[in-house]
Amino acid sequence: MTNGQNRYILAIDGGTQSTKVALFDLVGNEICAHTVKLKPIYLYGDDRAEHPDDDLWDSLKLACQTMFDKFDGDKSDIVGVGLGSIRCCRALIKQDGTLASPVQSWMDLRLSRPYEHDDDTVRYVTTTTGYLTHRLTGEAKDTRSNYVGPWPIDPVTLDWYEDGERFDSFTTPREMLFELVDPSSILGHINAFACEATGIPKGLPVVSTANDKAVEGLGAGLVNDGTVLVTLGTYIASMMVGDENRSDTVNYWSNPGAVPGEFLYESSGIRRGMATVTWIKDLLGEDVTKAAEAKGMTPEAYLNAIASEQTSPGCDGLYTVLHWLARPTHLYERGMIIGFNGTHKGPHMFRSVLEGIAMTMKNHAQAMCDERGVQPTKIIVSGGGSNGDLFMQIFADVFGVPACRNEVNGSASMGAAICTALALGIYKDRSDAINHMVRIRDVFEPVPENVTLYNKINETVYKHLAPQTEALLKASHEIFRA
């Protein structure tokens, strides 16, 4: 193997709010990247949530084209494409590969039920990774590790059910489903249509990844040593890895990993998690945006800075409960910010949201660790939110263990690159690839007095806010549902 500096992997990281493409060299350096924001999810009716138009494919085309405009290397040095995208979505495809209807988001309550065929133009029913594979290669193949939810897939073998009665209970004809392949294997090759649309060279191998959380775990360098990964996305989750496929757990569940034989353990999470940070930023208005621009900062970085200067741990009793998007089984849930007094201002609200995210995820992660019989030794925090030093310190203090962030903190794109390196035989196994491609940028150590304060807040107040207000929110839900 060479030092990897003259060969590149193109990694696709499709999310709920944006599509990112990045070029990595073979030792994990991000050469260039571009992110395109998606259109807001279209919410309508009582249960519908869709990506408008053909947003996933259109954003991927634009992201690739713009990234290549930045790239001053030789496209012929790109060796492969790693395809990652959001999980728990459903794409309905016509015979010609175009969408029969907009992609159903994971927030769409139809995703809690098996597919119901009511449109004869639908030829295939698949996931986001399956849809994008078909666009890029023309192949009707998909990673077996992105089928989370009511699909006719055996949770042990990760193949379509062979038992006819069990398969038929999911109401999806077999001929409408794609062929399943292992993660970190070749799905097909870039076709002429995709080459013209994206600028990706024709003939490059397109490599399967897994569900987006497993890809993040791989890209973050997550190993089975008590390390917990917290991923800061529209859905925030905490995760660990192992080799047991457990189906009898209470406080976490097992997902297929990003390499064969690996399983990702995932705690409960926060729906619309980092979207809540965006919400509070927008709520604080143009003054924040203008002040940030004057200092040459992003609004998020500016809010991190002023919250660090103007607030203290615990926000003098201001707490945020992160139920901005109710669970399908708990439709009465609502988000809350509680505990205001006359001294609280915008920075306190911002910090309270960050602290609420950290305490919620500490509780979810601890429940997972307790059930596994392990203690957390450190946390890795990934996603754009980890760029904030304040947020990283809050995580260290709330969890009471060192909080790390990597040089490449968008770990889903790194995970897609690692899957590609494994599929192409560049590295022999998961551990070898992580050792060569993943590097820690810095570590935030917990401050003992802050650990004590947050533990007291969490145990005596924060854990009890949602249970104590549940009856009131149920009553309110009945009023507005009537």
Instruction: Look at residue 3 and tell me if it is in a domain.
Output: no
Same domain assignment for residues 178 and 231: no
Instruction: Look at residue 230 and tell me if it is in a domain.
Output: yes
Same domain assignment for residues 377 and 263: yes
Contact of 233 with 121, CB cutoff 8 Å? no
Same domain assignment for residues 235 and 368: yes
Number of structural domains in the chain? 2
Q: What is the pTM (predicted TM-score) of this model? A: 0.86
Choose the final residue of a domain: 174, 208, 242. Answer: 208
Indicate if the pLDDT at residue 2 is higher than 50. Answer: no
Indicate if the pLDDT at residue 229 is higher than 90. Answer: yes
Which pLDDT band holds residue 453 (cuts at 50, 70, 90)? very high
Determine the pLDDT at residue 246.
86
- Percent pLDDT > 70 in the chain is 99
Range of the domain at 437: 222-482
CATH number (domain holding residue 150):
3.30.420.40
Determine the pLDDT at residue 482.
67
Same domain assignment for residues 287 and 255: yes
- Tell me the C-alpha to C-alpha distance, in Å, between residue 165 and each of 2, 126, 169, 226: 52, 21, 6, 41
Instruction: Look at residue 469 and tell me if it is in a domain.
Output: yes
Same domain assignment for residues 156 and 265: no
Instruction: Look at residue 1 and tell me if it is in a domain.
Output: no
Determine the pLDDT at residue 4.
54
Same domain assignment for residues 179 and 274: no
Residues 238-290: pLDDT tens digits? 999 998 888 899 999 999 999 988 999 999 999 999 999 999 999 999 999 99
Choose the final residue of a domain: 182, 208, 234. Answer: 208
Same domain assignment for residues 194 and 319: no
Using DSSP's 3-state secondary structure scheme, residue 21 falls into strand
Instruction: Look at residue 217 and tell me if it is in a domain.
Output: no
Residues 304-320: pLDDT tens digits? 999 999 999 999 999 99
Indicate if the pLDDT at residue 1 is higher than 50. Answer: no
Q: In 152-164, which positions are buried (b, 16+ CB within 10 angstroms) versus exposed (e)?
A: bbeeeebebbeee
Indicate if the pLDDT at residue 5 is higher than 80. Answer: no
Same domain assignment for residues 112 and 232: no
Indicate if the pLDDT at residue 209 is higher than 50. Answer: yes
Residues 90-118: pLDDT tens digits? 999 999 999 999 999 998 999 999 999 99
Nearest-angstrom CA–CA distance, 44 and 299: 30
Instruction: Look at residue 213 and tell me if it is in a domain.
Output: no
Residue of 437, 445, 3 lying closest to 220 (CA atoms): 437
Which pLDDT band holds residue 441 (cuts at 50, 70, 90)? very high
Determine the pLDDT at residue 11.
98
Indicate if the pLDDT at residue 193 is higher than 70. Answer: yes
Chain centre distance of CA 285: 27
Contact of 181 with 158, CB cutoff 8 Å? no
Same domain assignment for residues 227 and 182: no
Instruction: Look at residue 340 and tell me if it is in a domain.
Output: yes
360-375 mean pLDDT? 97
Nearest-angstrom CA–CA distance, 458 and 384: 25
363-374 mean pLDDT? 97
Indicate if the pLDDT at residue 55 is higher than 70. Answer: yes
Q: What's the CA angle centered on 312, arms 308 and 313, to 5 degrees?
A: 110
Same domain assignment for residues 328 and 477: yes
Same domain assignment for residues 347 and 401: yes
What do you get for the CA distance between the two ends of the chain, in Å?
Answer: 66
Choose the final residue of a domain: 177, 208, 239. Answer: 208
- Tell me the C-alpha to C-alpha distance, in Å, between residue 451 and each of 43, 309, 313: 40, 19, 10
Same domain assignment for residues 194 and 243: no
Instruction: Look at residue 216 and tell me if it is in a domain.
Output: no
